[in-house]
Amino acid sequence: MNSRFRRLVKHLWLDQADTRRAIGLAALQRLRDAVTTSERRHSGEIRIFVEAGLPLAYVLRKSASSQLVRQRALALFGELRVWDTAGNNGVLIYLLLAERKIEIVADRGLNDLVDAKTWQSLVARMSGAFASGQFEEGLAQALAGVSSLLEQHFALASAQSNRNELPDTPVLG
């Protein structure tokens, strides 16, 4: 019970103001520009979602925090319609500030081409940035890694362009 109470307090204590402090307007613009630049090189779509704490319904679940973060990322993947791209190659990069954890959810078009070890390695590389509170840096690393995978598997031909099916601006929840 004690750990569930601590989790509850941690997630309810943080709010959208904490998200805005972690990812300021200038950082938000730089991340948006990085997504836009990335999507000029491949046919995939990338969304970034940063959230201070989990909604109460998640916090009250009797699951490990890593499972809760994954469940929330999967739910947002659907809500943001990242799964609904023509090439089935949308990717959600989800950062939960309260846990300093990241989840990357890729649609089946990309996920079927990338093994679990590669995804785990990508997440592990940026964990140091998040642990030290360097959220923009960690998100930029995640974006670079995802972009590299999308370029490897869904590169655009020289005369081709990405029709940009999803907004490039990160969502601060």
Sequence spans of domains, the chain? 2-156+166-172
> 170 Cβ partners below 8 Å, 6+ apart?
23, 28, 31, 32, 35, 47, 48, 49, 50, 139
- The yes-or-no verdict on residue 4 having pLDDT over 80 is no
* The two three-digit tokens of residue 111, written as one number: 């996920």
The helix, strand and coil proportions of the chain, stated in percent and rounded to the nearest 5, come to 55, 15, 30
DSSP secondary-structure letter at 98? T
Domain topology for 2-156+166-172: Diaminopimelate Epimerase; Chain A, domain 1 (3.10.310)
pTM, 2 dp = 0.94
> 125 Cβ partners below 8 Å, 6+ apart?
141, 145
Q: List pLDDT tens digits, range 113-131.
A: 999 999 999 998 888 898 8
Average pLDDT over residues 89-94: 98
Q: Comparing C-alpha atoms, which of 102, 82, 85 is closest to residue 93?
A: 102
Q: Comparing C-alpha atoms, which of 150, 120, 151, 125 is closest to residue 138?
A: 125
Q: Comparing C-alpha atoms, which of 138, 146, 147 is closest to residue 119?
A: 146
If you average pLDDT over every residue of the chain, what do you get? 93
